[in-house]
Structure 1
């Protein structure tokens, strides 16, 4: 049993680059760590059309904006779905997903719509990427960075940074 646990521990240690596993001595992220965490991908997908609830006849087109941040060692994903018809946005919703491999820790801090009008919705998503460890008594973090991504979506199916 001890050999199995030791073997798994050594295998896991080999997967994590040593420069990524250790924060710099002053508690800040190294340049390599910052580069991996700040790597960001953004794309839009079409969603199935939705029948208009209020108009009864017109269909609303839908889109999903996805923002991914990080690498395979520590990642976060924010998604914003919205339905529009050129005159207004019928609805929008947000979702967050995070994941990490030890010794990294990623925490979703929430995604929130902070502005809403008939033709424009604004969203804010926060997440924290840390180098540290999860313990039964709480998280131990050696270095941490909080990111806030702000995006707007409109009635014409367009989006942008806020």
Structure 2
């Protein structure tokens, strides 16, 4: 029994020595986030652009971000002509508002699939990732707002014997 205690005490000493080594690392959520962003390096291509892919519903957006005057081009057209509804343009501009970088970057993106709402969400998702790759210090506010998380909700498929995904055909008593 005494030998077991010595063994356990030795084990405790070994663990406290390891615990002391592991507790030397920064703790707390704020310091961990700062350490994580300090370790991240900007990711840019040969032309000085940050690239990212965004997805929403069935839409996929490829986004290139570079410093500029604030022009946003979608599929070769200006954002105002491609997304005529102001709500969709607001969705796309949300990452700029959160990071307070409105008018500092030019954005060129190509979008395929889905409808306009899904495409706007895909552009926002890709733009947020590209901003995080351009400057790692922009990542924490974007992550806090949930812009880096892919919204995986998609339309449910229609089932056999149903009018739509879940709706039954109208009941007829006679």
Say which structure, 1 or 2, has more relative contact order (CA 8 Å, 6+ apart).
Answer: 2
Quick check: TM above 0.5? no
- TM-score bucket of the superposed structures, by smaller chain: under 0.3
Which structure has more strand as a fraction of its residues? 1
TM-score by length of 1: 0.26
TM score, norm. by length of structure 2: 0.24
